[in-house]
Structure 1
Amino acid sequence: MAITDQKRRDQARRLRHSQTPAEVRLWSGLRGRRLQNYKFIRQYSIGPFTVDFLCRDARLIVEVDGATHSEDHEIAYDQRRSAYLRAQGYRIVRVMNDDVYRKFDDVWT
């Protein structure tokens, strides 16, 4: 069990160091309690999944999705993943990469 936990932590660490440009941009707005004083963390493992951004206090997950979330098998995976996370008591907000770039103010609010 500890090995699995260590693998998840290592994966989350790798993801933090290789964020997409859209994730970097959104993180610049979420970090340091910049969004209504909520504390967000990034690339956090919940069960078998790693989420992009998490506000523990609000039990809110923010996912930044790109083109890799548009095929049938990817959509089905996201639905299973979302169902699991909701069953754990989390709310999920999904934003598209393009919205982070072109409509940042809308995403931000």
Structure 2
Amino acid sequence: MERRLYNALVLNGYCVQTQVKCGPYRIDLVIGKLAIECDGKASHSFPSQKAHDRKKDAYLRKQGYKVVRISGNSIVNRMPQVLKRVKTRLN
């Protein structure tokens, strides 16, 4: 899922870093100060994981990142909309 989004972003001209360490966390994909988290349904639907994600997002925002979470379903089925969302968040 991450690889699919990474490839699409690179093909659209973005300079993307993968698995960027930020404090106690790793960010799936980074473009400038945009942190992109790819969320698979299986591991991100549990309440404990959602709480962890909120804590991580808050930490990343404090470090100056804009955070966008993208579902695996969106990456697989709606890539044009995902790319538009990333472009919007970068502006």
Q: What interval of TM-score do these two structures reach, taking the shorter chain for normalisation?
A: 0.7 to 0.9
For residues 20-35 of structure 1, the aligned pairs below 5 Å read 22-31=1-10, 34-35=12-13
Q: CA deviation at 1:40?
A: 1.5
Moved over 6 A (4+): none
Separation in structure 2 between the aligned mates of residue 78 and residue 91 of structure 1, nearest angstrom:
14
Q: Please give the TM-score of this superposition, normalised by the length of structure 2.
A: 0.84
Residue matched to 1:46 = 22
Q: Please give the TM-score of this superposition, normalised by the length of structure 1.
A: 0.71
Larger Rg: 1
Separation in structure 2 between the aligned mates of residue 26 and residue 81 of structure 1, nearest angstrom:
21
Is the aligned partner of 1:71 residue 2:50? Answer: no
**Larger RCO: Structure 1 or Structure 2 (Cα < 8 Å, ≥ 6 residues apart)?**
2
Indicate the structure with greater strand content: 2
Q: Among all aligned residue pairs of Structure 1 and Structure 2, give the percentage whose two residues are the same amino acid.
A: 33
Is the aligned partner of 1:61 residue 2:35? Answer: yes
SS in 1 for 2:67: strand
Q: Give the gaps of 5 or more residues in structure 2.
A: 85-91
> Given residue 23 of structure 1, which amino acid in structure 2 is its aligned partner?
E
Is the aligned partner of 1:104 residue 2:83? Answer: no
SS in 2 for 1:105: helix
SS in 2 for 1:39: coil
- CA distances 1:66-107 after superposition (whole Å, capped 9, x unpaired): 121111110100011111000111000111001111111110
Q: CA deviation at 1:31?
A: 2.5
